Amino acid sequence: MTRNVAIVGTGHSKFGNRHDVNMPELAWEAIKQAIDEAGIEQKDVEFVSFSNVGGWSSEGLASVVSLEYAGLTGAGLYRVEAACSSGSAAIKAAHDAIASGEADIAMAIGLEKMNESPTPTVIEFIGRAGNFFWEFQNFGLTFPGYYALYATAYMAKHGATEEDLCKVAVKNHYYASLNPKAHFPIPITVEKCMKSRYIAWPLKLYDCSPITDGAAAVVLASEEVAKKLTDSPVWIESIGVSSGTSNLSRRDDFLHLEAGTLAADRAYKKAGLSRDDIVKHVDVAEVHDCFTIAEILAYEDLGFAKRGEGYKLIRDQETYKGGKIPVNLSGGLKAKGHPLGATGISMAVDLSRQLQGRVEKERQADIKVGRALAHNIGGTGHYAYVTLYSLSKPRR
Amino acid sequence: MTRNVAIVGTGHSKFGNRHDVNMPELAWEAIKQAIDEAGIEQKDVEFVSFSNVGGWSSEGLASVVSLEYAGLTGAGLYRVEAACSSGSAAIKAAHDAIASGEADIAMAIGLEKMNESPTPTVIEFIGRAGNFFWEFQNFGLTFPGYYALYATAYMAKHGATEEDLCKVAVKNHYYASLNPKAHFPIPITVEKCMKSRYIAWPLKLYDCSPITDGAAAVVLASEEVAKKLTDSPVWIESIGVSSGTSNLSRRDDFLHLEAGTLAADRAYKKAGLSRDDIVKHVDVAEVHDCFTIAEILAYEDLGFAKRGEGYKLIRDQETYKGGKIPVNLSGGLKAKGHPLGATGISMAVDLSRQLQGRVEKERQADIKVGRALAHNIGGTGHYAYVTLYSLSKPRR
């Protein structure tokens, strides 16, 4: 019934402190690459889902202004927001527009200038993505604090150590050092991470993702159009989505993100996969490592490891290239950077290029089954998106 | 190829100064009605597109918190923003999710508390929906000013008068007086409107839509599911979408909104209709009357009147019930109110009920062809959505 949808063009700006450009210019860096790769012209784009979190508050119409600068005015348009998972939400929106027959060519564009926060501090800006009235305003919780609660609970229950968390940072900084688009392409050691200052115990500076500006874009097309545009489409095989409670007090435990688990199960079910042997069916994954603990939780929520054993995957280096399931070979949110609205689309860009075997050689995964997984969380599991990308055309 | 999508449940809060409720409570007023009408339970809802403009800035996660209060947590979710047309954008998003086969039951929920503006003044909040850096920040333009430019140009070119503008207000206040959900259910006269103070010449107080809190919700279902749930589905026949330039200086004239015209043509084309005789094929319309001049421009952009003759429609009372093309029998943005994120969904709710013959008798249109039209503008034509609703199942 549904129509197949493929990624036919990808674009990615340099991530970092981008004081050198304004928002439309930053978006254009990614948009131009994506339309050039797709071999299309601006007038071919029928619909754009624009992912941006802070937009309304600083540059009110970041989406409209960026489309205009890019020569895309006239396309159907709306802005999508799902906190830190906005980019994956925008991919779903553009996917649905094509799969439904409403468009043949659509773009998902993600943009965030975290260094132009609409609130007095960027910590408040991000902090608002938690439960605002109770947890943020009354108790003062912000994101390092939220994830520190999870880290503390996880370490106490399962015996993981601060060194284990730092090992995630070391891996992701290593891969960032191989990715010219990354914000912090600088390798670090466990020792350097362990000596960095505490932000919210047990999370230290190197356990936290940075404040990053960036943009990413993909061109999506229907099967019929994709065939004409490219010999190497990357298909969107399935999308699993869930929302979760905004109240930490209502969660069963601080050992997993329920929405993330649910989104994974939904994505796997649509693709006919099981979480029990998922690692055999995925070549490479990008997961939501806004903090190092979040990557370890993701291993378990996605079925890469059994409950309580996620930290062993990083201890045993099984999430490095060549390991059981390579994770965040882009550098991840942790070291590539986390411009909220761009992150989910950045994942799609890097995974597409991984599947096509065209990222930098040292961080190129072995592509055997031809499937990649993106895991993108909004808030602390208020939103969750799991998207499977495949070199094989899905059978509907 | 595409799947048909129907509205199977509608909900609408009381519009007004809603200091009596918080955001999730206000949303619930509409959500409860919609799920009750549809005869479904919360767990049946697979996906929600949540329309809210100010959300991130005040209650950060208005969408998440409102879903939780309504017992909808676990559904797939993202927030949609297209300025004042966000509600119609959310309907497109939920429509596409079902038409694509990604969901069988979805909701579009719109919510705005304009009286809890995230900016120091609500005028700034709305003003940011124009071109921010140049027009708002440098020249101080806000929305009454924007539409005053259009009103001035239109009056000078076509000979319309301030009285003509006031006649739109008189009509819409009259119908609001028959709609218990309206913010200002108070009839006014042309004289009262003409004597009201200028906000931005030639627009006076009664030419402007008010600052309103409100919520609206619809339950959408696939054809197969809709059949089981209701004997009177309202089908989404077609959706036309366009974006427009954010720079007023780049517009051809101030006599029409290009994006609105383009969106209409796209919607008509999909439905096999022509703008030349569109009034024969539509029983009733809700158009974006944020200011009285905007309703007159809409008449022309939609093809209800020829260019330069829109004001004659209201002069001749042809947009009253019983006229050539009844417009805004709900009271419109002008008198029902304009809670940004809720407006487009409020249009869908009222038009569904109009088509089903179940609004208050005095404002019930004659339903002959069984088709209604919603016209929803974001900014001053930065976004435009035209949606056709029909009692007849679309042939795909």
| pLDDT tens, position by position, B53-110 | 986 555 668 899 999 999 999 999 999 999 999 999 999 999 999 999 999 999 999 9
Give yes or no: A338 in active site. yes
For residue A30, pLDDT over 70 is answered with: yes
Which are the contacts of A359, defined by CB distance < 8 A and separation ≥ 6? A179, A329, A330, A350, A353
A196, A182 contact by CB (below 8 A): no
How is residue B182 written in tokens?
């309206």
Distance CA(B83)–CA(B147), nearest Å, equals: 16
pLDDT at A60: 67
> Taking CB atoms and an 8 Å limit, are A57 and B57 in contact across chains?
yes
Distance CA(B395)–CA(B386), nearest Å, equals: 19
A66, A23 contact by CB (below 8 A): yes
Q: Which of A301, A294, A303 is nearest to A338 (CA)?
A: A294
> Taking CB atoms and an 8 Å limit, are A382 and B61 in contact across chains?
yes
Distance CA(A48)–CA(B173), nearest Å, equals: 37
Distance CA(A77)–CA(A71), nearest Å, equals: 13
User: What's the CATH number of domain B5-119+216-229, 3.40.470.10, 3.40.47.10, 3.10.20.30, 3.40.50.10860?
Assistant: 3.40.47.10
Taking residue B138's Cβ as centre, other Cβ atoms within 10 Å add up to: 10
pLDDT at B137: 72
pLDDT at A248: 86
Q: What is the nearest CA distance from B182 to chain A, expressed in angstroms?
A: 27
> Taking CB atoms and an 8 Å limit, are A81 and B81 in contact across chains?
yes
How is residue A318 written in tokens?
């099984």
Q: What is the nearest CA distance from B246 to chain A, expressed in angstroms?
A: 6
Taking residue A94's Cβ as centre, other Cβ atoms within 10 Å add up to: 30
Question: Is A81 part of the contact surface with chain B (CB cutoff 8 Å)?
Answer: yes
φ, ψ for residue A198, nearest 5 deg: -70, 135
Distance CA(A233)–CA(A226), nearest Å, equals: 7
Q: What DSSP designation does A395 have?
A: P
Q: Write the burial class of residue B375 (CB in 10 Å: 0-12 exposed, 13-18 middle, 19+ buried).
A: buried
Distance CA(B57)–CA(A56), nearest Å, equals: 9
A389, A301 contact by CB (below 8 A): no
φ, ψ for residue A387, nearest 5 deg: -125, 130
Most B CBs within 10 A among A61, A69, A387, hence the mutation to make, goes to A61
Distance CA(B262)–CA(B303), nearest Å, equals: 11
End-to-end CA distance of chain B: 7
φ, ψ for residue A8, nearest 5 deg: -120, 0
> Contacts of residue A2 in chain B, CB cutoff 8 Å?
100-102
> Taking CB atoms and an 8 Å limit, are B129 and A245 in contact across chains?
no
Q: Which of B91, B105, B66, B125 is nearest to B387 (CA)?
A: B91
If one compares B283 and B138, the residue with the highest pLDDT of the two is B283
Tens of pLDDT, residue by residue over B290-329, are 999 999 999 999 999 999 999 999 999 999 999 999 999 9
> Contacts of residue B245 in chain A, CB cutoff 8 Å?
68, 73
How is residue B212 written in tokens?
């309103």
Question: Is A2 part of the contact surface with chain B (CB cutoff 8 Å)?
Answer: yes
Distance CA(A324)–CA(A316), nearest Å, equals: 10
How is residue B119 written in tokens?
């900016």
> Taking CB atoms and an 8 Å limit, are B78 and A97 in contact across chains?
no
Distance CA(B191)–CA(B197), nearest Å, equals: 12
> Taking CB atoms and an 8 Å limit, are B241 and A77 in contact across chains?
yes
Residue A376 zone, left/alpha/beta (φ > 0; ψ -120 to 50; rest)? beta
Active site residue ranges of B: 84, 338
Question: Domain limits of chain A?
Answer: 5-119+211-229
Residue A81, beta-bridge partner list: B79
Rounded average pLDDT over A302-308: 98
If one compares A119 and B218, the residue with the highest pLDDT of the two is B218
How is residue B50 written in tokens?
């949540």
pLDDT at A125: 76
If one compares A61 and A26, the residue with the highest pLDDT of the two is A26
Distance CA(B304)–CA(A225), nearest Å, equals: 36
Mean of pLDDT over chain B: 95
Question: Is A139 part of the contact surface with chain B (CB cutoff 8 Å)?
Answer: no
Distance CA(A96)–CA(B94), nearest Å, equals: 9
Distance CA(A376)–CA(A386), nearest Å, equals: 6
Rounded average pLDDT over B215-221: 98
Please name the residue of chain A whose CA is at the shortest distance from the CA of residue B126. Answer: A60
Taking residue B156's Cβ as centre, other Cβ atoms within 10 Å add up to: 11
Q: Which of B119-123, B129-133, B266-270 has the lowest mean pLDDT?
A: B129-133
Most B CBs within 10 A among A42, A56, A58, hence the mutation to make, goes to A56
Which are the contacts of B42, defined by CB distance < 8 A and separation ≥ 6? B35, B70, B71, B72
> Which 3-state string (H, E, C) describes A140-168?
CCCHHHHHHHHHHHHHHHHCCCHHHHHHH
How is residue B147 written in tokens?
């539409």
Rounded average pLDDT over A277-292: 98
> Taking CB atoms and an 8 Å limit, are B65 and A97 in contact across chains?
no
For residue A59, pLDDT over 80 is answered with: no
For residue A361, how many C-alpha atoms fall within 13 Å in the half-sphere facing its CB?
0
Rounded average pLDDT over A301-330: 98
Which are the contacts of A20, defined by CB distance < 8 A and separation ≥ 6? none
Please name the residue of chain A whose CA is at the shortest distance from the CA of residue B266. Answer: A76
Rounded average pLDDT over B208-218: 97
Q: Which is catalytic among the residues A84, A193, A208, A290?
A: A84
Closest partner residue to B128 (CB to CB) among A56, A93, A100 is A56
Helices (H), chain B: 23-38, 62-69, 86-99, 122-127, 143-158, 162-176, 190-195, 223-229, 258-271, 292-301, 310-315, 340-355
Which H or E element spans position A385? strand A383-390
Question: Is B196 part of the contact surface with chain A (CB cutoff 8 Å)?
Answer: no
ipTM rounded to 2 decimals: 0.96
pLDDT at B121: 77
Q: Which of B239, B219, B246 is nearest to B72 (CA)?
A: B219
Which are the contacts of A243, defined by CB distance < 8 A and separation ≥ 6? A259, A382, A383, A384, B48, B64, B67, B72, B73, B74, B75, B76, B77
Binning pLDDT at 50, 70 and 90, where does residue A56 land?
low
Distance CA(A345)–CA(A356), nearest Å, equals: 17
Distance CA(A126)–CA(B133), nearest Å, equals: 24
Closest partner residue to B242 (CB to CB) among A76, A82, A99 is A76
Planar angle of CA B329, B331, B335, nearest 5 degrees:
170
Q: Which of A51, A47, A46, A248 is nearest to A153 (CA)?
A: A248
> Taking CB atoms and an 8 Å limit, are B129 and A77 in contact across chains?
no
> Taking CB atoms and an 8 Å limit, are A102 and B86 in contact across chains?
no
Most B CBs within 10 A among A95, A223, A246, A385, hence the mutation to make, goes to A246
pLDDT at A58: 57
Distance CA(A154)–CA(A254), nearest Å, equals: 7
If one compares B56 and A45, the residue with the highest pLDDT of the two is A45
Question: Is B245 part of the contact surface with chain A (CB cutoff 8 Å)?
Answer: yes
Q: Which of A160, A119, A120, A88 is nearest to A387 (CA)?
A: A88
A66, A111 contact by CB (below 8 A): yes
pTM passes above 0.90: yes
Q: Write the burial class of residue B43 (CB in 10 Å: 0-12 exposed, 13-18 middle, 19+ buried).
A: exposed
Which CATH number describes the domain made up of A5-119+211-229?
Answer: 3.40.47.10
Question: Is A53 part of the contact surface with chain B (CB cutoff 8 Å)?
Answer: yes
A75, A48 contact by CB (below 8 A): yes
Q: What DSSP designation does A16 have?
A: B
> Contacts of residue A376 in chain B, CB cutoff 8 Å?
none
Please name the residue of chain B whose CA is at the shortest distance from the CA of residue A131. Answer: B61
